[in-house]
Chains A and B, each alone.
Chain A
Amino acid sequence: MEKVKIIDTSGNEEVVELVTYLISEDNLKQYIVYSKGELKGTADDQVIYISRLYKTDEGFKLEEISDNNEWHSIQLMLKKIANAN
């Protein structure tokens, strides 16, 4: 289980589990998928978070997804991996 650190705009740090990365089909967009270990419901369901990932000279940056089409395509990417046989 790989851990990474998420730092918000106020400088607050939070250690989370790096679940995986997602890459768009055109290879132009990358996303990070992480978990805070939050269980939901009774069947060990967990909440995972997804952010757009950028690599800059200063390191990795995260941007939140606001576009619904983009979010929809991310869900398809997630399903492709999570529901693979």
Chain B
Amino acid sequence: MDRQNIVKDLKVVSFDIIYSEVKDILGNEKVFSNGELGDIFNKLQKTINSIDNLLGTLTEKDDYDKVIDKAEVEGEKSSVSEEIPINYNELVNVNEDIYTKDEEDNNTVVESDIEQDEEVYSGEESLKENSSAKLENGSTVETKDKDFDEEKVKSNVDSENYNLEKFVRLTNNRVKAIIVNSTQLRKLRESLERQKQLLDFGPEDVNSKSNEPIASIESLLEQASNLYKEGKIEESEKLYDQIRNMNKDS
């Protein structure tokens, strides 16, 4: 049943109600008082209002459906249109990060006269805060992602960090920095053990290395002295010469 038929039926029904009401009144009492007339008008008014309301509701419902549909469509549109700025903002943020890094990195590159073919560039540190944040963030993510007992991990990390070799900076001057590719970094890493051995002092064997020559010289002196006492002068002198050379080297 379409809307026009409903309205038509309602009009017929309401007319019947009004007609029966008037007919009852006219049938029972042919003289109307002002009050009775007022009641009839009130009933008529109510009926008309009811019809208007019904019609209004029908109209509103029709509009409401359209509004809902429209809202759903608009909602879809708005959700899409909202995503775009969010994504856009994220992109902007990421780009800003990259830009910031690039900007800072550009600041780090101070020596542009390094040969490009050697793929080694140089610069000065200006990323200290960023890099430390990275490290901190990285370790936080790592412990959370692996779902470890955070306290245990933290204590392990603390104890590991406690045992690390310490290097104290004497000044706050900028640290010289250089950029290397992965192959170069690998080669530098591989050279670590060899370079440690070349150092006059090694982190692990500083004391033993520095004490070794002293210990050996002392023992040779004692040996040379004993040889001299035993009358083996030539052997003793050779040994003293050897000690002199050792002293020169050290």
Write the residues of chain A forming the contact surface with B, with a CB cutoff of 8 angstroms.
Answer: 1-9, 13-15, 18-23, 27, 30, 32-33, 35-38, 40-41, 43-51, 53-55, 58-66, 71, 74-75, 78-79, 81-84
Min CB–CB distance B162 → chain A (angstroms): 9
Min CB–CB distance A12 → chain B (angstroms): 8
B-side interface mostly: mixed
Residue B95 interfacial (CB < 8 Å)? no
Residue pair B161, A15 in contact (C-beta under 8 Å): yes
The residue that B168 contacts in the complex, of A30, A47, A62, with Cβ under 8 A, is A62
Task: Give residues of chain B (176-221) contacting chain A, Cβ–Cβ below 8 Å.
Answer: 176-185, 187-189, 191-192, 195-196, 198-201, 203, 206
For the complex of A and B, list the 3 residue pairs with the smallest distance between their C-beta atoms, beginning with the closest.
Answer: A82-B184, A64-B173, A21-B195
Residue pair A50, B176 in contact (C-beta under 8 Å): yes
Min CB–CB distance A7 → chain B (angstroms): 5
Encode contact with A along B147-183: 1 for CB under 8 Å, 0 otherwise.
0000000000000110011111111111111111111
CB-defined contacts of A14 to chain B, threshold 8 Å: 132, 135
Write the residues of chain B forming the contact surface with A, with a CB cutoff of 8 angstroms.
Answer: 105, 108, 114, 118-120, 122-123, 125, 127, 130-132, 134-135, 138, 160-161, 164-185, 187-189, 191-192, 195-196, 198-201, 203, 206
CB-defined contacts of B166 to chain A, threshold 8 Å: 4-5, 7, 13, 59-60
6 contacting pairs across A/B (C-beta < 8 A)? A4-B167, A7-B168, A22-B195, A38-B127, A64-B175, A82-B120
Residue pair B134, A48 in contact (C-beta under 8 Å): no
